[in-house]
Structure 1
């Protein structure tokens, strides 16, 4: 090999070695870069190819959907010509069904009501026939005002019908006919056809060859049962037990399409009245179906309002997961991200809650002071048309998610868990034990969502608006009054299909008899609060108004309400500043002025101090301070209640945990100590009543006891309206009601014996005793 060839070869080997070394050093970046470039090129080519295919091929016509229509532009609230906004008003009426919806009743559809009955002595049969005749007249009137046709109701005897024809699948003789079932049954303690019927329903649901809800095509169903309270005094002892079982299994088979709550009556006492209420409810439901094609808002069968509520579901609750742990956990996880928890989200939230620091982070900013004083005279700010809670604001979204119905721009309404509990016969809140107010007839609302405090135990963790002066649009009181009533009734109707709702209480719930102006915010802040309460009283709706003792001027001009509350959250200035976190600089002076005003008005209306006890804030060593405040204001009543855990919210800067919630025995000890301190001062108070389930105790003035020494804390509401309408001065004693029931007095617990106390996790479940009553045909 010559010298040139050798040199060339050596040079080539040197280059190859360098390239090989570079490859080993940079091979990974080179491979990744090459792979990325190839992916990008492939993606670009793929997208270009798809665009060419889409652009060259016309879309196929859908066999299921109608031709697309031009979208209707969004209608925004009208504005005045001078630029001033018109307050948003509540638009009534029902949403009309669309012809394109498969699950609605089209104009060509017909509704057939089937009335099933079982009877041994023909009593129930006669009742069913009379009911069907009256229903036929009602459905004709409904049909005349709608485009739906109602066929003549058909009466069927369960003893003769083939169950397979009606209770495995709805009848199919006419595809244009949809069915609605009504079932009348008495209760027996011997073997009858109803036992076979119940066995058929149970087997149908559990048959793996059949869908678990084969009757879901039905428009809905409802059951009415007759029973004898002499033989079976209570539901737990068997009153209308077969009707309740049929209602339960029909809920499973129809996919929870309970159109109206189970009705129950005793023909010896109240059957006629209960049947009349039930009939009115069924007719209203049929009218709603004719207008909208569905049972209403909520889940299938109106079974669950979209409300914050935690209640344990019994095993026999229609397989209906109203408040299951999985949904609660998911909801709490989502709410924790938003820094929100609802007042009623108690049980499961407590289990899932994470403990945070007990004291607020010093680095967090203090509350804003809107009332810093200055020697210079201030000019009034220019009027503004800003809305307190605009519909497109995060506050609106937050409150509606928590179950509020926002009325206008600054008012709200919501139903609480006690309303649902009372509808199901599971007990009312403390207001029934103390004052005779049934929770299912109580509307909880506020005309002002804004507040001047940011309390550490606030239901909303400070998510509602705050301010020291009214600077927003003012909605007229008549609009608010109509709106909150409509919102309340709408939410009540959404509970029609909830298992356990009693028909008679549902009918009563559609007549509001009381209004609690204590939802959230500061009701007395609303400029037209007197006009609003006058509208309540004009319809004989009693009023309980709660204020935070920060608006003495408004309190001075407030006209009499049924009962006036002032929140007393601390016994001294420093404690009040920490727990209420007021925005007013002179909060303590305002607080004391309000107490003086209450003392002046204690002979004009019933006044109440509300003490909300929070461990670590306002309990320790404050009994004497509270006694001094009671001596200053001399209220008619003092309510002592333990704080309700609303979830941990670091965003509020409070950091409350379950360690801040007192046990009931701690509340009792505090009440006894406070009562002793009041006795030392000779103020004439005593412990009158309690409601352990609400962790609440009532101390009353001796003015509200009769000559026999019995407490009379309840209110004669009819007498109150008579005194109010007379135009003459009157005193709280003038509308003092009957004696406080024995079960509500101190030491008795305060739970209404007519209702059934439901414990969590089935602790109270016991087998029903066999009834020894004779056969009863109702």
Structure 2
């Protein structure tokens, strides 16, 4: 580097006090002057990402774009974006590229699991050289969700640590980006600092000290202390000698004793810090400390993602969206299964939620896990009236946008501007909202029926829940292991919460429903366990529906092979009723949705099913203030909706619409279902 003389004159003469080859810098050839300012060259850089929902891949593409834009100071001859599932782990042992790991880490099964297990194995395998990754230069950025508590970004933390302990050179400290905050802003700042570090050639050079000591400078794990002390070379005076003079052994023993005491003290301080409150309120030496204000549940990035999917965000934690069945009903092409089961017309129904957050990350979630998660409410709380007014306003705006859609019927378009039903099942956990009872009361004051769905993780909330038109609980598995595999809950005591929720449901004394989503190869073989769950909660109805495949999102491994046919759903329901005994029967169906309604035999009055709801009667009972039961507002189920009817639950007054090449498939499926039902009836007659 050239040294500048601050006392040099400003007369245009050269101010350098040094020269190259004895020649003044101004007298050097232009080509030689340009060599003084040399770009930092990197032979190869790989951005290796592990993504569940696509965020890590998106961030990887953004980092690649930023690196290419930094060509003024950095030259990268080869720049790759690599999915960690396509990266051969063994290549890491000979990797010479700069590797940036962008890792989405959650407490669910994902693409990162195999890499994490492999790296852990070589880290703790005594047969593997402790400097096995000495040629690797790396940086790690974890993308996670702080709602997971101690498990937040734990995989990326471990990977960052293990890489360093295996001799790799860390270019920049571990990044930790929280989905429950402004994750994009956090990543952008980390990426900016990382790229700045690449400008410094020294940061890319391997440190000999790290080779000598076999560590990345971090404390070794407790279990490795003894082994490490035997393997590390000791170099007190920096000479590099492995031998230690006898007269120096006393000094060394003292240093080791002091180091051991310091480590014990640091561990104690760490434990003490962990036990302290994270935030304090009150005064400290006359200075008033204010608690952090709760933040909005929906961050700018979440708002962008959800809006892109068609959601209308209301306030800080609520949302509303038009259901596809609403569009179908407006065009006279049929209603959803709730019309067959309970008499709801889809164009009069609003699908919303006062809480976009959920305590599960179900494998079949059709929202692809873009909504936030949490086990306790830690966000801002909006007023119930504000949420309802905003939801209705946005719902009507979306209805209005459909006026130009071909086939929309004028009479239904006008009817749609009077909401009669509210499905609190859009996404998230509606019962999680602190003022859910006040919200439901507002619905009833507007003569809007309430259908509330909960994932059975908040038993206290179910117990506190006041009257709703119909209260649902999702039972997606019959065993602890199955529930963890399918719902992927955040709570550690999820199974106990699940069972407590079912027992709380049994005490409600109103219309209650078990919602069961069938996923082939996941929960279709748990009949005996489901029988026990039904007896525990004694629901009025059991809705059984085949899972809907929503495309690959990276968040689950479901495929079309996991979607059951309607006749398979029927077979499952028949077996379930047989095991339950005389208390439950197949009552209604909606073949188009692969849905079956199992009802208590009490709803079969004088030989006819009464699963529909008399909504006017319900509102009268609510306003009366008198206690009532689920049998006080029943209505007769139409013949076309009853199980086994030729219509299969499709309203004959609607126009059946088939897509190309689907009519023949639908006819074949209907024939197959009819044949199955006929065979079952024949077998039943024969056995009788």
TM-score, normalised via structure 2 length: 0.56
Instruction: Look up the SS of the partner of 1:516 in the other structure.
Output: strand
Q: Which residue of 2 aligns with 1:635?
A: 539
Instruction: Look up the SS of the partner of 1:733 in the other structure.
Output: coil
Q: Distance in 2 between matches of 1:380 and 1:631?
A: 44
Give the one of 451, 468, 473 matched to 1:561.
468
Instruction: Look up the SS of the partner of 1:646 in the other structure.
Output: coil
Q: Distance in 2 between matches of 1:406 and 1:546?
A: 19
Q: Distance in 2 between matches of 1:718 and 1:544?
A: 15
Aligned length in residues: 405
Q: Which residue of 2 aligns with 1:525?
A: 432
Instruction: Look up the SS of the partner of 1:543 in the other structure.
Output: strand
1:644 maps to 2:548 = yes
Give the one of 712, 731, 746 matched to 2:643.
746
- Higher strand proportion (structure 1 or 2): 2
Q: Distance in 1 between matches of 2:539 and 2:358?
A: 24
Contact 1:370 1:468 in 2 (8 A): no
1:384 maps to 2:293 = yes
Contact 1:384 1:471 in 2 (8 A): no
Contact 1:442 1:516 in 2 (8 A): yes
Q: Kindly tell me: are residues 397 and 715 of structure 1, through their superposed partners in 2, closer, same or farther at Cα, counting changes over 3 Å?
A: same
Larger relative contact order (Cα-Cα within 8 Å, sequence gap ≥ 6): 1
Q: Which residue of 1 aligns with 2:587?
A: 688
Q: Which residue of 2 aligns with 1:425?
A: 332
Instruction: Look up the SS of the partner of 1:540 in the other structure.
Output: coil
Q: Which residue of 2 aligns with 1:626?
A: 530
Q: Which residue of 1 aligns with 2:566?
A: 664
Q: Kindly tell me: are residues 517 and 378 of structure 1, through their superposed partners in 2, closer, same or farther at Cα, counting changes over 3 Å?
A: farther
User: How far off is 1:609 after superposition?
Assistant: 0.1
Q: Distance in 1 between matches of 2:54 and 2:380?
A: 32
User: How far off is 1:661 after superposition?
Assistant: 1.1
Instruction: Look up the SS of the partner of 1:494 in the other structure.
Output: helix
Contact 1:649 1:656 in 2 (8 A): no
Q: Distance in 2 between matches of 1:386 and 1:548?
A: 25
1:699 maps to 2:598 = yes
User: How far off is 1:363 after superposition?
Assistant: 3.1
Give the one of 399, 403, 410 matched to 1:503.
410
Give the one of 511, 520, 534 matched to 1:606.
511
Contact 2:463 2:505 in 1 (8 A): no
Give the one of 520, 545, 554 matched to 1:615.
520
Q: Deviations over 1:138-178 (max 9, x none)?
A: xxxxxxxxxxxxxxxxxxxxxxxxxxxxxxxxxxxxxxxxx
Q: Kindly tell me: are residues 756 and 337 of structure 1, through their superposed partners in 2, closer, same or farther at Cα, counting changes over 3 Å?
A: farther
Matches within 5 A, 1:313-712: 360-361=110-111, 362-363=113-114, 369-370=148-149, 382=291, 384-390=293-299, 393-601=300-508, 603=509, 605-620=510-525, 622-650=526-554, 652=555, 654-679=556-581, 682=582, 684-706=583-605, 708-712=606-610
Q: Distance in 1 between matches of 2:302 and 2:115?
A: 22
Q: Distance in 1 between matches of 2:616 and 2:276?
A: 48
For structure 1, the 5+ residue unaligned runs are: 1-32, 34-332, 340-355, 766-778
Q: Deviations over 1:56-86 (max 9, x none)?
A: xxxxxxxxxxxxxxxxxxxxxxxxxxxxxxx
Q: Kindly tell me: are residues 502 and 592 of structure 1, through their superposed partners in 2, closer, same or farther at Cα, counting changes over 3 Å?
A: same
Q: Kindly tell me: are residues 335 and 508 of structure 1, through their superposed partners in 2, closer, same or farther at Cα, counting changes over 3 Å?
A: farther
Give the one of 715, 718, 726 matched to 2:616.
718
Q: Deviations over 1:288-311 (max 9, x none)?
A: xxxxxxxxxxxxxxxxxxxxxxxx
User: How far off is 1:336 after superposition?
Assistant: 13
Q: Kindly tell me: are residues 655 and 446 of structure 1, through their superposed partners in 2, closer, same or farther at Cα, counting changes over 3 Å?
A: same
Q: Distance in 2 between matches of 1:380 and 1:711?
A: 57
Q: Distance in 1 between matches of 2:565 and 2:278?
A: 49
Q: Kindly tell me: are residues 764 and 437 of structure 1, through their superposed partners in 2, closer, same or farther at Cα, counting changes over 3 Å?
A: same
Q: Distance in 2 between matches of 1:584 and 1:364?
A: 26
Contact 1:546 1:564 in 2 (8 A): yes
User: How far off is 1:377 after superposition?
Assistant: 8.8
Q: Kindly tell me: are residues 408 and 632 of structure 1, through their superposed partners in 2, closer, same or farther at Cα, counting changes over 3 Å?
A: same
User: How far off is 1:384 after superposition?
Assistant: 3.0
Q: Distance in 1 between matches of 2:333 and 2:372?
A: 34
User: How far off is 1:667 after superposition?
Assistant: 0.7
Instruction: Look up the SS of the partner of 1:471 in the other structure.
Output: coil
Q: Kindly tell me: are residues 691 and 596 of structure 1, through their superposed partners in 2, closer, same or farther at Cα, counting changes over 3 Å?
A: same
Q: Deviations over 1:501-536 (max 9, x none)?
A: 111111111110000000000000000111111110
Q: Which residue of 1 aligns with 2:26?
A: none
Q: Distance in 2 between matches of 1:573 and 1:449?
A: 25
Contact 1:389 1:395 in 2 (8 A): yes
User: How far off is 1:616 after superposition?
Assistant: 1.7
Contact 1:369 1:585 in 2 (8 A): no
Contact 1:413 1:519 in 2 (8 A): yes
User: How far off is 1:337 after superposition?
Assistant: 7.5
Q: Kindly tell me: are residues 380 and 541 of structure 1, through their superposed partners in 2, closer, same or farther at Cα, counting changes over 3 Å?
A: farther
Contact 1:360 1:655 in 2 (8 A): no
User: How far off is 1:703 after superposition?
Assistant: 1.7
For structure 2, the 5+ residue unaligned runs are: 1-30, 32-52, 60-84, 87-108, 117-143, 152-270, 280-290, 665-688
Q: Which residue of 1 aligns with 2:196?
A: none
Q: Distance in 1 between matches of 2:276 and 2:521?
A: 40
Q: Distance in 2 between matches of 1:673 and 1:728?
A: 39
Q: Distance in 2 between matches of 1:664 and 1:338?
A: 38
Instruction: Look up the SS of the partner of 1:656 in the other structure.
Output: coil
User: How far off is 1:702 after superposition?
Assistant: 1.3
User: How far off is 1:662 after superposition?
Assistant: 1.1
Instruction: Look up the SS of the partner of 1:421 in the other structure.
Output: helix
Instruction: Look up the SS of the partner of 2:114 in the other structure.
Output: coil
Instruction: Look up the SS of the partner of 1:403 in the other structure.
Output: coil
Q: Deviations over 1:546-566 (max 9, x none)?
A: 000001111111111000000
User: How far off is 1:461 after superposition?
Assistant: 1.8
